[in-house]
A = this chain, B = another copy of it.
Amino acid sequence: MVAKAKKKKKRVSSKKKSKSVKASKAKSTKTKKVTAKKTSKAKSAKTAQKTKTAKTTKKTTTTKRTKTTKMKMVYYFGAGKAEGHKEDKYLLGGKGKGLADMTHAKIPVPPGFTITTDVCREYYDNNMQAPDGLDDQIKKAMTKLEKDTGMKFGDPENPLLVSVRSGAAFSMPGMMDTVLNLGLNAETLKGLIKKTDNERFGYDNYRRFIAMFGNVVLGIDKDIFEDVITRKKKQRKIRQDTSLSVDDFKSIIKSFKRIVKDKSGEEFPEDPWQQLEMSRDAVFRSWNNPRAITYRKLNELPGDLGTAVNIQTMVYGNMGDTSATGVGFTRNPASGDKEFYGEYLTNAQGEDVVAGTRTPKPIVELKKEMPSVYKQLVDITGKLEKFYKDVQDFEFTIQEGKLYMLQTRAGKRTTPAAVKIAVDMVGEKLIKKEEALMRIMPKDLDQLLHPRIDPKAKYDVVATGLTASPGAACGKVIFTADQAVEANENGEKVILVRTETNPDDIHGMFAAEGILTSRGGMTSHAAVVARGMGKPCVAGCEDVRVYESQRQFSIGTLIVKEGDMITINGTTGEVMLGQIPTIEPELTGEFGEFMKWADEYRSIGVRTNADTPNDAATARKFGAEGIGLCRTEHMFFAEDRLAVVQQMILADTTAERQAALDKLMPFQKSDFVGIFKAMEGLPVTIRTLDPPLHEFLPNADEVKAKIKKLVDDGADEEKIGKQEKILARIQDLHEQNPMLGHRGCRLGITFPEITEMQVRAIIKAACELSKKGKKVYPEIMIPLVGNVKELENQKEVVVRVAEEVIRKMKAKVQYKVGTMIEVPRAALTADEVASQADFFSFGTNDLTQMTMGFSRDDAGKFLRYYIDKGIFVKDPFVSLDQDGVGQLVQMGTEKGRSVNEDLKVGICGEHGGDPASIEFCYKTGLNYVSCSPFRVPIARLSAAQAVIKEKQEKQKTGKSYTTA
């Protein structure tokens, strides 16, 4: 036994070695610094993937197979000893690991053994065949189990019955398969009846087993079995399964066996060993059932870890009133309150609790019913929580007064509960702040930042769409942006409902409480803009049909009219009629405490992308330390300004253009005054005009229609001529590829008067406030620079105008001039560019588009296909492509600092709010990330986690998996 354990250890470590060799090889092909610091989880997932890719040829598999015969594939637990208590959950699965741990801790667990996840991977690699030697190891373990239980597998007199359960490294509740009561057949059934002296119990278990086996192992539809029972109950005129008699069961079992033969072509296997082998393989196969695949995709879990199989002695909660079964949590998983929480059923099997056919009792009642067992349960689970230092979600069975723990695992919880529990556990000195910070997935914080549906509220969902932007909102249904604005001005709360939104709707989206669209995905205009604004949005709600002209929408036969009140929940994608009560978010209490800790740990700054004083204030409330990107063009779209902007664009001469700009200046100045005020004392990075001018002009078809109408109406020449001029300019400004056209600094260079106006507005605003004693730190940012000379050109304009304004206003304002790095060439020549820049801000949206060669607008046609096919692991517009685009970020930072060591470097693309990208930015040495206001807390936590992860990586010696 000792020798065996050693052997196993050796194997594992040599395997780990070969893994790490592969990983380091992979690393060498990438930028070193970053990859080297990837978390072990990511690494292992990646390595596993690579391994899989490498294993496509027959030869490799054969070599591997030879090895597996020597491999330890089965880990026994029972009688207070567990072979696997030093192994990790990646090998044993979460359930197997828990059982081993509990056994080792002398907690009563029905004995059994675990077949490792390695075996599952082998099974897949080996053309769905169990590896050689596995059967021997199982037989040996079974022999031990028989010894420890005093029963015998397949023995007609004293049959040992077992459960066969899946158990992957990550909990995937209900996704994979389980077979109970395995080992029963016509012979052993007799032994069971004799032993329990309960004929009905025996037959009940047997019929359950055949149906479960038929379904799980043989793939026969569950309903076919259910139908037999339903028919029997009808025939017998009874309602409950509990009313079925032994004879009923006998007849049902006959039918079940016939069904098995008809559907599978084989007799139901009576041989327990055959049952075991078939069930084991079925569990392996269930790893890749469609449910499981979908679940992993949704939860971003790796697809190649495989599942372990746990074979465990059956215990029964349905052996009378001294038997029971239940589930529970060591703390309240919804609120996080520290209370023993759970429910149970007397005289029932586990599936009865989960199935909800009988209403379970709250666990406190167990205290009265079985006080000593209750105490034992509280003691054990308390011990488990302390051992695992986390809330435990446990399953137990009481068989004739004896408590058995069947499972323990980290409990799933809501984000509010997760935060409360983490903070409480720090208070209880159970975990350290670091651990608390690592417990929350940053993106989950989003749930805490938006109004949410009151958990106590009761409501009906009438339609469900995509969770495009989180939070709940109620309001009157409205169908156009203009009406939304109007209603908003009248103090009404509205939900903007549209088939899909477009840039013309922005003012309406802004005025609305929330947005509901019937078309478009997670990256549709509505979704992207709503997220940016922090507005709840349900997008792509396909049941909804919008009839704008009739001012109503339908869901099936339901008609919702303009002015009707609805509630949408962007966190769940749900749409409800009427006003459902919501609760407002607050950054106080445990959440506030938690975020304070995050700030203690993080070293990278967090700014926000905000174009309005309102956004700026929200972001500041969420902890933003300045503005990383203020887009000035959004300020041009307001109706009173757009006309002047168009005047500027249509100008024939510089003088005309200047006149229009002079009109715009005061607007811009007041925008900046508002923003500077909201961010007083903090830096505000303002980008000069970026989009191509045609974005400010109407659509050509609209103008054509207008001209046609004017002509038809016999309007005068001048009016027609004006529209014709607009049309001509639209056609003149038309671009094949606007993304790669006349925009960014190219505008400011060809029309320096635009930059001049903007700088004048910024610096005037700053001077005004500065003279009132307010602290303002404007940072003027030039977009789309690809060549240092472009920056040089625009910097000259900025400095000239700024100095002039400051001199004239006799104010003291310190300003910085920097540039976006969003054109690949800027990153490649960052050493040149940095000579003219006080700061860099990586515009990773454009940088991604240009580096990867596809635009966000157009990539839809193949991006989903690419992700499905595994060509991309993630959407590169959501999470930074670290291997490609990341290289440019790194290069740009290094080269920039090589000539300008004080260069401040940030990121202001959508990636500034993505945890993985933030970790990358931290490792690359950026000074700050900038993200939309509602992502600020996410960024703060991500930034803290990046520091902690790095620290943990450093501390780790030899361990390749975290066991937390």
Question: Contact residues of A with B, CB < 8 Å?
Answer: 29-30, 735-742, 746, 749-750, 784, 786-787, 789-790, 793, 822-825, 828-829, 831-832, 835, 846, 849-855, 857-859, 861-862, 865-866, 869-872, 881, 883-885, 887-888, 899
Contact status of A855 and B740, CB under 8 A, knowing A749-B865, A786-B884, A787-B872: yes
Chain B positions within 8 Å of A824 at CB level:
824, 850-853, 884, 888
In the bound complex, residues from chain B placing their C-beta under 8 Å from that of A869 are 749, 793
**8 closest Cβ contacts across the A-B interface?**
A823-B853, A741-B858, A825-B884, A740-B855, A736-B857, A737-B855, A737-B737, A789-B871
Task: Chain B residues near A737: list those with CB within 8 A.
Answer: 737-740, 855, 857-858
Please tell me which one of the listed residues B740, B746, B861, B866 contacts residue A739 in the complex, with CB atoms under 8 A apart: B740
A825 to B790, CA, bound (A): 24
Distance to closest chain B CB from A217 (angstroms): 34
CA distance A831 to B25 in the complex (A): 12
A12 CA / B263 CA spacing, docked (Å): 99
- Taking the nearest CB of chain B, how far is it from the CB of A61, in angstroms? 18
Measured between beta carbons, the chain B residues less than 8 angstroms from A855 are: 735-737, 740-741
Query: When the two chains form their complex, are residues A852 and B870 in contact, meaning their CB atoms are under 8 A apart?
Result: no
19 contacts between A and B (CB under 8 A): A30-B832, A736-B739, A736-B855, A737-B737, A737-B855, A740-B849, A740-B850, A741-B858, A742-B858, A746-B862, A750-B865, A784-B853, A786-B852, A786-B853, A786-B854, A793-B869, A824-B853, A825-B885, A829-B884
Q: Hey, which chain B residues are within 8 Å of A30, CB to CB? A: 829, 832
Q: Decide: A884 and B852 in contact? CB cutoff 8 A.
A: no
Which of A750, A854, A861, A888 has the largest number of chain B CB atoms within 10 A?
A: A854
Task: Please indicate the chain B residues that have their CB under 8 angstroms from the CB of A749 in the complex.
Answer: 862, 865-866, 869, 871
Whether the pair A858, B29 counts as a contact (CB closer than 8 A) is no
Give the chain B neighbours of A850 by CB distance below 8 A. Answer: 740, 824, 850-851, 853
Give the docked Cα–Cα distance between A228 and B871 (Å). Answer: 81
Indicate if the CB atoms of B739 and A738 lie closer than 8 Å.
Answer: no
Across-interface contacts of A862 in B (CB, < 8 A): 742, 746, 749-750
Contact between A854 and B787, CB atoms less than 8 A apart: no
Contact A29 B832, beta carbon cutoff 8 Å:
yes
A212 to chain B, nearest CB (A): 39
Is A883 a contact partner of B829 (Cβ separation < 8 A)?
Answer: yes
A850 to B888, CA, bound (A): 13
Q: Which residues of B contact A29 (CB under 8 A)?
A: 829, 831-832, 835, 899
In angstroms, Cα B30 to Cα A531, docked, is 41
Q: Which residue of B lies closest to A744 (CB)?
A: B853
Roughly how many angstroms separate A495 CA and B815 CA in the complex, as a whole number?
A: 59
When C-beta atoms are compared, the residue in chain B nearest to A735 turns out to be B858
When the two chains form their complex, are residues A825 and B846 in contact, meaning their CB atoms are under 8 A apart? no
Residues on B with C-beta less than 8 A from A739 are 736-737, 739-740
Residue from B736, B740, B750, B883 in contact with A853 in the complex, judged by beta carbons closer than 8 Å: B740
Give the chain B neighbours of A861 by CB distance below 8 A: 741-742, 746, 750
Output the least CB separation between A820 and chain B (Å).
11
Residues B738 and A736 in contact, CB atoms below 8 Å apart: yes
Instruction: Give Cα A750 to B899, complex, Å.
Output: 45
Shortest A671–chain B CB gap in Å is 27
Which residues of chain B have C-beta atoms less than 8 A from A870's C-beta? 789
Complex CA gap A822/B852 in Å reads: 10
Bound complex: CA A742 to CA B859 (Å): 7
Residues of B within 8 A of A741 (CB): 854-855, 858-859, 861
In the docked arrangement, what's the CA distance between A230 and B31, Å? Answer: 79
Q: Which residues of B contact A793 (CB under 8 A)?
A: 869, 871
Chain B residue numbers with a CB within 8 Å of A790 are 871
Q: Contacts of A888 on B, CB cut-off 8 Å?
A: 824, 828
Q: Once the chains are docked, how many angstroms separate the CA of A839 from the CA of B850?
A: 24
Q: Give chain B residues whose Cβ lies under 8 Å from the Cβ of A885.
A: 825
Distance A260 CA – B254 CA, assembled complex (angstroms): 127
- How far is it, in angstroms, between the C-alpha of A929 and the C-alpha of B609 when the chains are bound? 46
Contact partners of A866 in chain B: CB under 8 A: 749
Nearest-CB residue, chain B, relative to A785: B853
| A858 neighbours in B (Cβ, 8 Å) | 735-738, 740-742
A740 B740 Cβ-Cβ under 8 A: yes
Tell me the minimal C-beta distance from A681 to chain B in angstroms: 35
Q: A859: which B residues are within 8 A, CB to CB?
A: 740-741
- Bound together, the chains give a CA A737 to CA B852 distance in angstroms of 14
Residue of B nearest to A740 (CB): B855
When chains A and B are docked, how far (Å) is the Cα of A869 from the Cα of B790? Answer: 10
> Are B857 and A853 within 8 A (Cβ)?
no
| 13 more A-B residue pairs beyond the given contacts A750-B862, A822-B853, A828-B888, with a C-beta to C-beta distance below 8 A | A29-B899, A30-B829, A735-B857, A740-B855, A740-B858, A741-B859, A741-B861, A749-B865, A749-B866, A784-B853, A786-B853, A824-B888, A825-B881
Which residues on B sit within 8 Å (CB–CB) of A742?
858, 861-862
Q: How far is the CB of A696 from chain B (nearest CB, A)?
A: 16
| Chain B residues with CB under 8 A of A829 | 29-30, 883-884, 887
Q: For residue A786, which residues in chain B have a CB less than 8 angstroms away from its CB?
A: 851-854, 884
In whole angstroms, how far apart are the Cα atoms of A750 and B832 in the complex?
41
A787-B828 in contact given A850-B850, A853-B850, A861-B741 (Cβ < 8 Å)? no
CB proximity of A704 to chain B, nearest CB, Å = 11
Determine the distance from Cα of A741 to Cα of B858 in the docked complex, in whole angstroms: 5
Residues of B close to A871: CB separation below 8 A: 749, 787, 789-790, 793
Interface-central residue, A746, A866, A869, A899, by most chain B CB under 10 Å: A746
Residues of B with C-beta under 8 A to A853: 740, 784, 786, 822-825, 846, 850
CB distance from A503 to the nearest CB of B (A): 12
List residues of chain B with CB within 8 A of the CB of A828: 851, 883-884, 887-888
Interface centre among A822, A866, A884, by most chain B C-beta atoms within 10 angstroms, is: A884
Query: Closest chain B residue to A881 by CB distance?
Result: B825
Of B750, B825, B852, the contact of A825 (CB 8 Å cutoff):
B852
Question: Complex: how many Å from CA A484 to CA B30?
Answer: 54
- The distance in angstroms between the C-alpha atoms of A30 and B735, with both chains bound, is 33
Closest Cβ of chain B to A672, distance in Å, is 27
Closest chain-B Cβ to A307's Cβ sits at a distance in Å of: 26
A853 to B738, CA, bound (A): 10
Q: In the complex, what distance in Å separates the CA atom of A884 from the CA atom of B888?
A: 12
Cβ of A804 to closest chain B Cβ, rounded Å: 18
Q: CA–CA, A787 to B750, complex, Å?
A: 36
Most buried by B among A737, A739, A749, A888: A737
Query: B residues within 8 A CB of A849?
Result: 740
User: Residue on B with the closest CB to A884?
Assistant: B825
Docked Cα-Cα span, A768 to B862, in Å, equals 36
A881: min CB distance to chain B, Å: 7
Cα A899 to Cα B750 with chains together (Å): 45
Q: How far is it, in angstroms, between the C-alpha of A125 and the C-alpha of B859 when the chains are bound?
A: 52
CA distance A888 to B887 in the complex (A): 12
How many angstroms from the CA of A849 to the CA of B858 in the assembled complex?
17
Q: Is the CB of B740 within 8 A of A854?
A: yes
Closest-by-CB residue of B relative to A830 is B29
Q: How far is the CA of A825 from the CA of B870 in the complex (A)?
A: 17
**Residues of chain B contacted by A740 (CB below 8 angstroms):** 737, 739-740, 849-850, 853-855, 858-859
Decide: A852 near B823, CB < 8 A? Known: A749-B871, A869-B749.
yes
Q: Which residues of B have CB within 8 Å of A789?
A: 870-872
Q: Which residues of B sit under 8 angstroms from A736, Cβ to Cβ?
A: 738-739, 855, 857-858
Nearest chain B CB to A845 CB, angstrom units: 12
In the bound complex, CA of A859 to CA of B746 (Å):
10
Nearest-CB distance from A27 to chain B (Å)? 11
Q: With A and B bound together, what is the CA distance between A740 and B861 in angstroms?
A: 12
CA distance A735 to B851 in the complex (A): 19
Shortest Cβ distance from A840 into chain B, in angstroms? 16
Minimum CB distance partner of A747 in chain B: B862
A881 CA / B826 CA spacing, docked (Å): 13
A740→B871 CA distance, assembly (Å):
18
Q: CA of A829 to CA of B851 in the docked complex: distance in angstroms?
A: 11
**Cα–Cα, bound, A127→B13 (Å):** 77
> Given the complex of chains A and B, what is the CA–CA distance between A850 and B881 in angstroms?
17
Question: Bound complex: CA of A853 vs CA of B835, how far in Å?
Answer: 21
A740 to B825, CA, bound (A): 17
